[in-house]
Amino acid sequence: MTKRVVTDSMIGMRMPDIDQWSDLVTVVLGQNPGMFSGPGTNTYIIGTSSRPILVDTGQGIDAYMPLLRQALRERGAEGLQEIVLTHAHPDHNGGIAHIRAEFGDVQITKKPWPGRDADLPINAIDDEDVVVTEGATLQAIWTPGHAWDHLCYYIPEDRALITGDVVLGAGTTVIPPDGDLGDYIRSLRRLLDFDADVLYPAHGPRIHNPREKIESYLAHRALRDEQILDGLKAGVTTIPELVARIYTDVPEYLHGAAGMSVDAHLRNMVTEGIVRRDVDRWFLA
């Protein structure tokens, strides 16, 4: 049986601090590399105005601000129209305070997530809403699963899709304990409808074969389901045992993350009525 579909990984990957990806889009690296964030969070300066949009803010690392200032200067810009967020995870919204200290009370636009958003007024948007700036349009697409509030943004002028944490430049997305794999798979399918030329992910390099990439993510999840069901059929009942059986090619320090993934698959199979759970043991229904 095939062992894995997605074979690349962001571990050790490097990217330039500032990179112009189109006439409309410059990416500035959040300076927060790590196991889950790869080279760090991509933040996007978007539009041709002297006050463009910033999509995502990084984690609040000091070394980021001079790079953001430099990237704005290189685009002939001096301020920000607003901050637009993909979702309320700390490596995406953690830089808000730094940016507002520098540029004033910049408006924050996102889908609200009560209890999870920074304690700041939010300009609420939702699925199919549009954020306009000079030269570019961001069409919001509600894509829950990795995070309940997650919005991707389609930029028709570039036929580009900002995918946040739904599709990454390499490796696969984490579905955290408060995430939902069923929602995530529906979100991936929805992104296929946009037929974008390029994906701008929140971590890692841009993706020039969107359809192939998204279909590989769907195939990856289908394969994991199959491997987990095989394990349950063989009488394996716990997540650590399933991880040991399935992730034989993955170093042990990643087994915690692998366990989170197996948990997300099992929870989804309970929702679908395929699996039942008894505390920390799992069985075919």
For binding to Zn ion (CB under 5 A), which residues are involved? 89, 165
Smallest gap, in angstroms, from Cβ of residue 155 to Zn ion? 20
AA letter at 172:
T
Indicate the residue among 72 and 91 with the shorter CB distance to Zn ion: 91
State which residue has the least CB distance to Zn ion.
89
Q: In which residue are the tokens 């601090």 written?
A: 17
Indicate the residue among 47 and 179 with the shorter CB distance to Zn ion: 179
Smallest gap, in angstroms, from Cβ of residue 56 to Zn ion? 10
Strand, helix or coil for residue 7 = coil
Tokens of 19: 């990179």
AA letter at 261:
S
Smallest gap, in angstroms, from Cβ of residue 221 to Zn ion? 17
133 phi/psi in degrees, rounded to 5: -140, 170
CB proximity list for 240: less than 8 A, separation 6 or greater: 255, 259
Smallest gap, in angstroms, from Cβ of residue 15 to Zn ion? 18
Strand, helix or coil for residue 24 = coil
Is the distance from CB of 112 to CB of 124 less than 8 angstroms? yes
Question: Which stretches does DSSP call E strand in the chain?
Answer: 18-20, 25-29, 42-46, 53-55, 82-84, 107-110, 123-124, 130-133, 136-142, 151-155, 160-164, 198-201, 275-278, 281-284
Is the distance from CB of 276 to CB of 257 less than 8 angstroms? no
Smallest gap, in angstroms, from Cβ of residue 134 to Zn ion? 29
Smallest gap, in angstroms, from Cβ of residue 203 to Zn ion? 9
